Amino acid sequence: DIQMTQSPSSLSASVGDRVTITCRAGQSISIYLSWYQQKPGKAPKLLIYGASSLQSGVPSRFSGSGSGTDFTLTISNLQPEDFATYYCHQSYSSRTFGQGTKVEIK
């Protein structure tokens, strides 16, 4: 299985901040990378697919980039509703997730 490693595991930020989360794949996965947001007690929600394509209905302050092994999720102008845990996911070979990044209020 392809290992996905996210960093950091957690971060503290303030409303209005720009936040960047990194995801590294154990081997090249082209752009077969998606990002999900999960709030406590809720199912994950798709934010980004194909490394950089914004899912319909997701605010434009969310953006993704990268290809091969290194990817980033950026949240510009962090909003109160963005405090959550974020997961990267690869579908290039089987299906695996990063361990998650918890975005907390500073």
Partner 1 sequence: QVHLVQSGAEVKKPGASVKVSCKASGYTFTTYYLHWLRQAPGQGLEWMAVINPNSGSTTYAHNFQGRVTMTRDTSTSTVYMEMSSLRSEDTAVYYCARDDLQYDSSEFREMRYFDYWGQGTLVTVSS
The answer to whether the CB of 9 falls within 8 A of the CB of 101 is yes
The minimum distance between CB 10 and partner 1, in angstroms, equals 13
Closer to partner 1 by CB, 11 or 31: give it: 31
**Residue 27, class by beta-carbon neighbours within 10 Å (0-12 exposed, 13-18 middle, 19+ buried)?**
exposed
The answer to whether the CB of 60 falls within 8 A of the CB of 67 is no
The minimum distance between CB 14 and partner 1, in angstroms, equals 25
By CB under 8 A, name the binding residues for partner 1: 1, 30-32, 34, 36, 42-46, 49-50, 53, 55, 87, 89, 91, 94-100
Closer to partner 1 by CB, 42 or 106: give it: 42
